[in-house]
Amino acid sequence: MRIINLPNALTVARIILIPVFITAVIYKKHQHAFFLFVLAAITDLLDGYIARVTDQKTALGTFLDPLADKLLLMSSFILFSFQAWIPLWLTIIVISRDIIVVIGWFLLYMITHDVRIEPVLLGKTAIAFQLVTLALVLLSVNIPTITIPKEFLFVVTAALTALSGLQYVYKGLRVADAR
């Protein structure tokens, strides 16, 4: 299996887009930031889909794809909190969940010596809601007259994120207990 393939190239492109996106937000180039964020989100959808459909999954892609997701989401939540576009409590929930999942993965690896983490539907749904929430917030920054149900999105995103974190903890404990 080749390491250099279209899904991995899309993932690497997403990682490269992140500092450009951050720069656009910091320098108040909000239209550029919106375009870059949507482009990064599209590459996230495409890389996994193409890898599955064309049977081009690689160990590198399995590692890089969630890393790219975390880098994009964490940097976005932190930036958007500093811009006061989203509440700090939402950023804390998102980052805490990711830290707990990574620590749990590390502990599970130490116990089982298995590096596989199977994504759960709730986790994928939480990430999708995080991406949609961030995109809509950035859209509202670009078009102030647009009204989006921000509070509703924030609460649903927080709930899905927290519940998916609990599901990963539960799943990790079951795997550790089985070993």
Q: What is the pLDDT of residue 141?
A: 97
Q: Is there a domain that residue 145 lies in?
A: yes
Q: What is the pLDDT of residue 28?
A: 97
> What is the rounded CA–CA span in Å between residue 155 and residue 28?
27
Q: Is there a domain that residue 1 lies in?
A: no
Q: Is there a domain that residue 30 lies in?
A: yes
Q: Is there a domain that residue 13 lies in?
A: yes
Q: Is there a domain that residue 159 lies in?
A: yes
Residue 48 sits in which domain range?
6-178
> What is the rounded CA–CA span in Å between residue 22 and residue 68?
14
Could you say which DSSP state residue 85 is in? S
Q: Is there a domain that residue 172 lies in?
A: yes
> What is the rounded CA–CA span in Å between residue 158 and residue 177?
28
> Is pLDDT of 14 > 80?
yes
37 vs 179, more confident: 37
Q: Taking the mean position of all CA atoms in its chain, how far away is CA 135?
A: 12
CATH number at residue 153: 1.20.120.1760
Q: Is there a domain that residue 122 lies in?
A: yes
What is the number of structural domains in the chain? 1
> What is the rounded CA–CA span in Å between residue 139 and residue 176?
43
> What is the rounded CA–CA span in Å between residue 58 and residue 150?
37
Q: Is there a domain that residue 49 lies in?
A: yes
pLDDT digits (tens, 9 = 90+) for 120-179: 899 989 999 999 999 999 999 999 999 999 999 999 999 999 999 999 899 888 887 776
Q: Are 69 and 117 a contacting pair, CB within 8 Å?
A: no
